[in-house]
Amino acid sequence: MNSENSQKVLIAPSILSADLGKLNEEIAALEAAGADMIHVDVMDNHFVPNLTFGVPVIRCIRSRLPLDCHLMVENPENYLEELHAIGVASVTVHFEACKHLHRVITRIRELGMKAAVAINPGTVIDGLRDVLPLLDMVLVMSVNPGFGGQKFIENSLEKIRALRALRPDLVIEVDGGINTETAELCRAAGVNILVAGAFIFKAADKKVAIASLR
Query: Residues in the site for Zn ion, rule: CB under 5 A?
Result: 41, 70, 175
Mention every residue, 6+ apart, whose C-beta is less than 8 A from residue 177: 142, 143, 150, 151, 152, 153
Catalytic residue among 36, 126, 175, 205: 175
Q: Rule CB under 6 A: is residue 176 a binding residue for ligand DX5?
A: yes
Helical packing angle, 155-166 and 180-189, nearest 10°: 30
- What is d(CA 5, CA 80) in angstroms, rounded to the nearest whole number? 30
If the CB atoms of residues 74 and 106 are measured against ligand DX5, the closer one turns out to be: 74
Active site includes 41? yes
Report what 190 binds from ligand DX5, Zn ion, none; CB cut-off 5-8 Å by kind: none
Q: Rule CB under 6 A: is residue 177 a binding residue for ligand DX5?
A: yes
- What is d(CA 203, CA 201) in angstroms, rounded to the nearest whole number? 6
Q: Rule CB under 6 A: is residue 190 a binding residue for ligand DX5?
A: no
Cβ 43 to ligand DX5, closest distance in Å?
Answer: 7
Q: Rule CB under 6 A: is residue 39 a binding residue for ligand DX5?
A: yes
Which three-class secondary structure state does DSSP give residue 160? helix
Binding window for ligand DX5 (CB under 6 A); candidates: 93-101, 106-114, 125-133, 197-205: 197-205
Report what 176 binds from Zn ion, ligand DX5, none; CB cut-off 5-8 Å by kind: ligand DX5
Cβ 201 to Zn ion, closest distance in Å?
Answer: 14
Q: What's the half-sphere exposure (Cβ side, CA atoms, 13 Å) at 44?
A: 15
Active site includes 175? yes
- What is d(CA 137, CA 172) in angstroms, rounded to the nearest whole number? 6
- What is d(CA 169, CA 115) in angstroms, rounded to the nearest whole number? 15
- What is d(CA 29, CA 22) in angstroms, rounded to the nearest whole number? 11
Q: How far is CA 108 from CA 27, 134, 145, in A?
A: 25, 11, 22
Report what 13 binds from ligand DX5, Zn ion, none; CB cut-off 5-8 Å by kind: none
H or E stretch at 185: helix 180-189
If the CB atoms of residues 110 and 184 are measured against ligand DX5, the closer one turns out to be: 184
Catalytic residue among 41, 44, 68, 136: 41
Which residues participate in catalysis according to the annotation? 41, 175
Where on the chain is the footprint of ligand DX5 (CB under 6 A)?
14, 16-17, 39, 41, 70, 143, 145-146, 148-150, 175-178, 195-199
